Each structure stands twice: as structure tokens, then as C-alpha cells.
Amino acid sequence: MPVVSGGSPPTVYLHIGAPKSGTTFLQGLLWSNAQALSEAGVLLPGGSFGGQVQATRDLRQVEPEPDEPGPSWDGAWDGLADQIKESGHRVAVLSHEVLCAADAAAAGRAVASLAPCEVHVVYSARDLAGLLPSEWQEYVKHRYHFDFEHWLREVVDGPRDGGAAGWFWQVHDIPEVLGRWVPHVPPERVHVLTMPGPDAPRERLWERFAGLLGIDPAVADLTEARANTSLSWTETELLRRVNSAVDMDAPMWLYHRLVTEVLALKVLPGRGEDGRVPLPPERLAWADEKARELVESVRSAGYDVVGDLDELLPAGARQGESAASPEDAELLDAAAHTILGLLDRIAMLRGEIGTLRQERREQHRTALPKLMARHLSERNEAVWKMRVGYWHLVERLKGIEPTPGPEKETETETDSAPDDDEAGEAGTVLSRRARAR
């Protein structure tokens, strides 16, 4: 049972981003430990991360693409707000990184709809030397096909409202982002959560976030944490070339489902040579100056800092960063192993389809009462034991199975499913490269 707040409305923490600042790690940790957090008094409203995504789309009045599959998100935000207010939990957490792109009207609506709850805004921040390459990779994962230098010219040298700069500064200009929320939330309830450096223990970010919520970090099992895996420079360059070949008429929702979610997130990582994308040396001075400007804006605004603002200052070149862009030979090698990874997935999916077809054939051949008994036994140990005992009794009555003596135990059936095992082996035999890393 959740720890309730004694009748008072919960305190709401809106974790609004920013992208590429440990948000995926925190979200994975939150949702994989949802039950334990609920027992500690922390509600994750919406039922799933996808439910929170739907609510934030509704809040920001995002229009779906034509023919985009999936449920409508109309009314999702108000439904989530009602769930929070009626929950009885001590704390509620909503975490989605695109909330930092909400305009002033959406920010006002969010806070007003949660009244009388006390609302806090949490903004994760990261140093620019690490953020800029990571954000370019994220652009590439979302169909961008220009190289890193072209992207930097748009973001750093170009107008703030044009090209890639428009989105980047909308979510990463700290005073501008938080300035859209402070008319509705006082500065002392605006928290800037700094992302620890790459050499820090990965649990440190969670410890800071948990401390903000007022819970013991040990409530969550960190073995369930999932990070948003960064691609190497070779893998990013290969994906960029794939983007150049994608049909321009293909809808974005289809691109996300196939290229982003399958190729970029599941197949590509680990297929290319190691080496993160570095910020070019000639850009480091600008990054340092801009970072100090952002840090000073946080100090002067009086926001609560969770962590250390010095962690937002660029630290220069880092271990594992490649100094040169990948050669064609490296790209060809990565492409070959990526094809093998896709073949692995095809083999796995064919195995799953075969299993489903076999189950469907069995359902057509099996009487409904027997089918129901089988499904119940697969989900309930007591029903399973009764079914096995009945089977042995029938076998004995038929004279097929001898009655066990006092020293002989009755063996139970095992559901070995050899076809599934063979399909699983076929789905992993080709891809050795990523697992060896």
C-alpha cells in the first residue's frame, strides 16, 4: 500500500528536461521501480511513461501527423492532473524532457490545473562540451542528415530562431526556459539539477533526484536503470547516411518506429568503432564563455541548485573521444555488422511469428474448456499442480503409468518449447560484435 499524505494534496515535481541530461536514465529508473516508489509515497501518474508523453503532448497542443496510428491524446493532461489530486500519495513525479519546450501559456495551464498541489519544477542541465555533440546525435536519430560542423554553424553561429538553433535554444537556454515557469512557480521551488561528469558514479544523479523527492535512494533498484545509449562517431555517421537515403515522403511517425526505435536505439549501438564525437577545439572557448553566462543566470535568479554548478563548465577533451571523423572503410565495416544485427532481429521475429502461429493452430484444435485450463495453469501454480495431478491419474487409470511406490516421487511436466529455444538461438548467433564490447 502507498504511504499516503494524510489527506493533503501531493507535492508535484515536474521534471521538464532538458534533453540529453540524464533524463532517460532517471525515467527508466522511475518506471522500473514504480511499485516500490508508490509504497514509499511517490506516484508516477499516467500509468506508464507513454501515458505521460501523451499528457505532455496534450498540454503543449501538439497536433498528430496525418494517419498517425495510436490513441488520441485529447484530454490526457487534465486526466493526469485529476489522478494526481485524487491519489492520496505524498509526492507525484511527471518526467518528460520536452516539457521544457512548453510555452508560457502551457506552463501556466500546467500549474493551474494541478492546484491546490504545491508544484516544483526540476530542470536537468549538462555542460556544453558534452551536450553539443550529444544533441547533434539526437538530431541525427530524428532524421537530420547534415554533419556535425554544419549543425554547429546553425546552432552557434546562426540566428537563434532558424534551423537547428530554434529547438536547441528553446530547450537549453536556461534563463529563457525557466523564465516561462517562474511567473507561476516561485524561484525557491525551481530546482536546477546538474548532471555529474562522465567519471562520476552513475548513481549520483539518482541520489540527487531522490534527495529532492525526500526518499531514500535505496528504494530503487539501479540494476534496472537504462541509459540513452550514445552512438559512436562511426555509428552516427552511418545513421546520417541512412537518413540521406530515406524517402522524403515517409511520415515522421513511421521513421521513428523503424529508424529511431529499431536501428538507432537497438541495432546500431556497438556495431561501429569506438570513439565519441568531440566538440571541435576551436569551439571550446565559446562553450566555456556561454556556460559561464548560463551558470551566472542560475545564481542570480535564486533557483535551488541540486548538485554543483561547476559541473556545467566544459572540461575540454575527454577520454574516448575521437579526433577525426570516420573513414569510409570504418563505415563499411560498421554497415556490414549492422546488416547482421538487422538479420538477427528478422530471425528473432520469424521465430516469434512461428510460435504465435503454432499457438493459434493449437487453439483451433483444442476444446475451449481444455484451452482455458491450460491458460489458467500457466498463470497459477496451484491450477498447474492440479492439472498435472489429473494427467497422471488419467495415465494410471489407462494402465499407461504405474502407480508410484512410497519412495518414488511424481515428476511434473516441463514446458520445454524446443521450437522457441531454436528460434532464440537463431536470433543471436550472427551478432557477436556488439556483445563482445
CATH number of the domain encompassing residue 161: 3.40.50.300
Contact 373, 387 (CB under 8 A): yes
Rounded CA-CA distance 97/170 in Å is 12
Indicate whether 417 pLDDT > 50: no
pLDDT digits (tens, 9 = 90+) for 29-72: 999 999 999 999 999 999 999 999 999 999 999 888 777 777 78
Percentage, residues of the chain above pLDDT 90? 59
Mean pLDDT to the nearest integer, 111-139: 95
What is the pLDDT confidence band of residue 380, given thresholds at 50, 70 and 90? low
| Size of the chain in residues | 437
- CA dist 346 and 348 (Å) reads 5
| 3 state DSSP class of 12 | strand
At residue 412, the pLDDT reads 36
Candidates 276, 260, 273, 121; CA nearest to 184 is 121
Q: 17 and 52: one domain? A: yes
| Average pLDDT over every residue of 286-310 | 96
Distance CA 380, CA 196 (A): 45
The label of the residue with cell 528536461 reads: 17
pLDDT tier at 315, thresholds 50, 70, 90:
confident
Whether residue 414 is predicted with pLDDT greater than 90 in this model: the reply is no
Q: Which residues contact 197 (CB under 8 A, 6 or more apart)?
A: 127, 311, 315
**pLDDT greater than 60 at residue 1:** no
How far apart CA 7 and CA 220 sit, in angstroms, is: 26
Q: Which domain, by its residues, includes 407? A: 342-436
Q: C-alpha grid cell for residue 131? A: 551536450
Q: How many domains does the chain have?
A: 2
CB 45 within 8 A of CB 83: yes
Looking at the structure, tell me whether residues 158 and 292 fall in a common domain: yes
Residues 189, 373: Cα–Cα separation, whole Å: 55
Q: How far apart are the C-alpha atoms of 105 and 119, rounded to whole Å?
A: 16
Give the β-pairing of 190-194 and 304-306: parallel
Residue 273 is assigned to a structural domain of this protein? no
Neighbours of 38 (CB within 10 A): 16
Looking at the predicted structure, is the pLDDT value of residue 418 above 90?
Answer: no
Which stretch of 88-102, 174-188, 361-375, 390-404 has the lowest confidence by average pLDDT? 390-404
Same domain, 285 and 159: yes
Same domain, 136 and 107: yes
- My answer on whether 284 and 404 are in the same domain is no
Residue labelled with grid coordinates 560542423: 149
Same domain, yes or no: 300 and 361? no
Does 300 lie in the same domain as 365?
no
Determine, yes or no, domain membership for 109: yes
Query: Same structural domain for residues 199 and 346?
Result: no
Supply the pLDDT for residue 174: 97
Q: Is 102 a residue whose pLDDT tops 90? A: yes
pLDDT band at 219 (very low <50, low <70, confident <90, very high): very high
428 lies in some domain: yes
Q: Is 331 among the domain residues? A: no
Q: What local confidence, expressed as pLDDT, does residue 230 receive?
A: 79
Q: How many CB atoms lie within 10 A of CB 250?
A: 12
Rounded CA separation 98/78 (Å): 18
195: which 3 cell numbers?
Answer: 548532471
CB half-sphere exposure, 129, CA atoms < 13 A:
23
Residue 148 inside a domain? The answer is: yes
CB neighbour list of residue 435: distance below 8 Å, 6 or more residues apart: 270
* Domain-embedded: residue 150: yes
In a domain? residue 243: no
Judgement on whether residues 380 and 312 belong to the same structural domain of the protein: no
| Section 206-231 average pLDDT | 87
Say if residue 296 is in the same domain as residue 392: no
**CA-to-CA separations, 163 to 36, 146, 156, 158, in angstroms, rounded:** 43, 11, 11, 8
Q: Say if residue 391 is in the same domain as residue 307.
A: no
Q: Of the residues 292, 322, 352, which one is the last residue of a structural domain?
A: 322
DSSP 276: B
State the Cα–Cα distance between residues 432 and 437, nearest whole angstrom. 9
For residue 315, is the peptide bond before it cis, meaning its omega torsion is within 30 degrees of 0? no
For residue 426, the model assigns a pLDDT of 38
How far apart CA 182 and CA 123 sit, in angstroms, is 12
Q: What is the mean pLDDT of residues 340-361?
A: 88
Confidence label for 354 from pLDDT (cuts 50, 70 and 90)? confident
So what's the pLDDT on residue 224?
Answer: 66
Compute the average pLDDT of residues 412-429. Answer: 37
Question: What's the whole-number average pLDDT of the chain?
Answer: 84
* Distance of alpha carbon 136 from alpha carbon 272, whole angstroms: 18
Whether residues 287 and 142 share a domain: the answer is: yes
Q: What's this model's pTM, rounded to 2 decimal places?
A: 0.76
Residue bearing cell 498447474: 384
